[in-house]
Structure 1
Amino acid sequence: MTTIPIAEAFDQLLKEPLPLRITAYDGSASGPEDAPYSFHVRNERGLAYLMTAPGDLGLGRAYVTGDLEVTGVHPGDPYDALVMLQKGLKFRRPSAPELVRLLTGLGLSHLKPPPPPKEEHLPRWRRVLEGMRHSRTRDSEAIHHHYDVSNAFYELVLGPSMTYTCAVYPNDDASLEQAQEYKYDLIARKLDLKPGMRLLDVGCGWGGMVRHAAQHYGVKVLGVTLSREQATWAQEKIKEMGLDHLAEVRHSDYRDVTETGFDAVSSIGLTEHIGVKNYPSYFGFLHDRLRDEGRLLNHCITRPHNRKEETGAFIDRYVFPDGELTGSGRIITDVQNAGLEVMHEENFRRHYAKTLAGWCKNLADNWDACVAEVGEGTARVWGLYMAGSRLAFERNEIQLHHVLATKTTADGRDGFPLRPSFEHDAGNRG
């Protein structure tokens, strides 16, 4: 049996030469020596990860364990290397004889999958033990996997706002914190919040919208989250700010909210988790929480098309288990079918790319503290996922949409002026 050098095997699978340097533990190398970035396969386990799970899952496994080293970028922000990789990595489909020769040349022993990294979640088909997809039990487990990492880690990555959703940049020079503040205020203005109103914030995270509405608009707010860590942090922050007479965050499934008659409902980053097939019941539930002429603002990641599409294998196993996305058209359809009138819609795709760049910078700047808090594997997962997501937003593979709707009455009262007033920065702050 002829042994094939690892770097040479990569070359044989490519349509054109890589603009990157590939090296491996067997001493082989390919690509320009002066390439700005290089990928080094450190050991046999790394090769086995790449051979047994071709694509983003194998690359992710090797990278998370450190079996695949990337030089020229910080592990907290590998964005530049991913851009180069996406531009240059064009595989061809080998013939069956070629594939057999490559596999045998690299060693058939590498076709035995190594145990996955400890940071990896179960595959979709094995999650049946946690319940049916988007059952309460399984949703709770999925949220726990992603959000109950470490509040201290999130403080380092997200910054003082503790906001893990797309910011809205009023201008190119705005900081991440300024953009998060502007996002919350824009949502408050879209919902036309005024002192004395009642707001329900579903999937409230660490309570950023809850605090903003209570502090700046004098609104009585109920936030709910499936993450116990988030709820505990949020309640402590609310008390620290002296807002506990107006604001409450519950550790609860949104479906357990029994109160009705809210003046407004905000859903900021929850729709991604509930499953496309559950949109009708979800928006129906929110409709029933609103008073007549009450408003709903739905903020969520979408696809640039309206087909249901599951997330990729790496994102599903390491970041958002059971995640599903579709387009804004599907969301608008289900909002309308729930009996709400859609009044406004807009896309913040480029804003999310900027938001992710800010989070990656925070991770890189606080790398040692982040690793000490959650371990290098988890820190690498976050760097890779956020940098890759930034690239996807920039390339219009995913988007972020606001859909603003109202509970119009039977005789046509919608509670809106003839022209929207929410673009005025002054808003209705009390």
Structure 2
Amino acid sequence: MSILAPTTSIADAFSQLLGGDLPFRFTAYDGSSAGPADAEFGLDLLNERGLSYVVTAPGDLGLARAYVSGDLDILGSHPGDPYTALMHIKGNSEGLKFRAPSPAEAVALLRTIGLSHLKPPPIPAQEHAPRWRRLMEGFLHSPERDAEVIHHHYDVSNRFYEMVLGPSMTYTCACFPTAAASLEEAQFHKYDLVCRKLDLQPGQRLLDVGCGWGGMVRHAVKYYGVSAIGVTLSAEQASWAQQRIKEDGLDDRAEVRHLDYRHVVEGDFDAVSSIGLTEHIGVANYPAYFGFLRDKLKPHGRILNHSITRQHNRKQSTGAFIDRYVFPDGELTGSGRIITEMQDAGLEVQHEENLRMHYAMTLAGWNRNLVENWDACVAEVGEATAKVWGLYIAGSRMGFETNEIQLHQVLATKTPADGSTTFPLRPTWLG
């Protein structure tokens, strides 16, 4: 490949460093462009600040900073749902990979962009501190640290979540009974599936850790006659859930507390549900986590763990954009690792299933809600935060559809040392 000339334009430098023909249109504020003129989708770099973001943080983080700040546009898509554009770019970029410039190319590139662009602009307000700085400020996954990162993500605005998640206020993977089912029907079906897997019976006691806005708690109490305690580190979630429980007339048997699950003092629960919490725990803390939940169960009690996983069993961080903008300190691993840790904690795994494509469908529903309520969402949280959510939801949908991430439910029992069991010969929830 030829060395970048001193007069190289921004678009020429961009395309050359990617090492191939662009499958999308790239335009820059200096008037330069690259890629097919009739491309359906494209990237438009609007100003010098955007260039500085991209240059000083190569990869998805720099692009995200420029996009969130309004310095980079994704052409051909709505900011509430850039999924189609991102899938087109990803699906047609085989062979394209950013390569580091040679020393001579780097000199030529610096002449093109100017040394001033090597000074990073202030990071967007929506961005969390880098992981290394968070490590300096406290122990990873301490109660105080977990409370802060949960606040960062979940205490955005209950009204915003109502518009994006829909009436169920459920921020976890739904389970679609049919492809034609609505998002609300699928969320109802998910909660009902968990209740049936846990074999909940009237008069039993349920603990729901990481309970969000109390959807599982309310469903189990209303339709299965149990008493339930839910705990969440989000004050906004707990407040919303307690109000909804009162409105539904369930406050004699249902409670949601603003509390770390590690501080639950009650025990002897018939069942424990953990829906979307394991992603925040940290892989190194799995033994303590599953051991704690095991100890909250009666003998023969059931536990259902529902969590996002990798397609492999290696520990892997969530990536720069997700870690800095969405789930600080999040870690994912495979279902095999989760099953192993549950077994090593003394739980007998009875069943597991992968709901990967159900999560892709769930995310598509959230993107539609965000688009339909875009103006109101922007008015509620600001355009930058709304754009973070559109990008995050669409990117996550891509991850599930391309099998980079999965969603597994694992059902286990606290089987006594003598091996006695009350688990049926065949699963009852399969009908």
* TM-score bin, normalised by smaller chain: over 0.9
Q: CA deviation at 1:269?
A: 0.3
| CA–CA separation in structure 1 for the residues paired with 2:234 and 2:136 | 20
Query: Is the 1:294–1:415 Cα contact (8 Å) retained in structure 2?
Result: no
Provide the C-alpha distance between the structure 2 equivalents of 1:396 and 1:293, rounded to a whole number of angstroms.
34
Check 1:414–1:130 CA distance in 2 against 1; reply closer, same or farther (3 A cut). Answer: farther
Map 1:357-368 → 2, pairs under 5 A: 357-368=364-375
User: Which amino acid in structure 2 is aligned with residue 313 of structure 1?
Assistant: A
- Name the stretch that deviates more: 28-37 or 179-188: 28-37
Instruction: Map Cα deviations across residues 228-264 of structure 1 (whole Å, 9 max, x no partner).
Output: 0000000000000000011000000000001111000
Could you say what secondary structure the match of 1:74 adopts? coil
Q: How many residues align?
A: 424
- Is the Cα–Cα contact under 8 Å of residues 354 and 408 in structure 2 kept in the other structure? yes
Give how far 1:409 is off. Answer: 1.1
- Equivalences for residues 6-405 of structure 1 within 5 A: 6-89=10-93, 90-93=96-99, 94-128=101-135, 130-405=137-412
Deviation string for 1:174-232 (max 9, x for gaps)?
A: 11000000000000000000100000000000000000000000010000000000000
Report Cα offsets for 1:354-381 as digits up to 9, x if no partner.
1000000100110000000000000000
What one-letter code is carried by the residue in structure 1 that aligns with 2:283? V
Cα drift, residue 34 of structure 1: 1.1
TM-score (norm 1): 0.97
CA contact (8 A) 1:407 1:414 kept: no
Aligned counterparts of 2:18 and 2:294: Cα–Cα separation in 1: 52
For 1:290-332, what per-residue CA distance to the aligned partner results, in whole angstroms no more than 9, with x for missing partners?
0000000000000011111011001000000000000111100
The amino acid across from 1:180 in the alignment is Q
Residue 128 of structure 1: CA displacement?
A: 3.5
TM-superposed deviation, 1:85: 1.8
What letter matches 2:45 in structure 1?
Answer: V
Unaligned runs of 5+ in 2: none
SS state at 1:201 partner: strand
Alpha-carbon contact 2:322-2:392 (below 8 Å) kept: yes
CA distance in 1, matches of 2:394, 2:241: 27
Q: Which amino acid aligns with 1:417?
A: P
Partner amino acid for 2:37?
A: E
Mapped partners of 1:281, 1:309: distance in 2:
19
Q: Deviations over 1:131-182 (max 9, x none)?
A: 2110111100010000000000000000000000000011110110000000
Give the RMSD, CA atoms, in angstroms: 1.1
CA distance in 1, matches of 2:106, 2:97: 13
- Counterparts of 1:29 and 1:78 in 2: how far apart (Å)? 21
Q: Distance in 2 between matches of 1:335 and 1:243?
A: 32
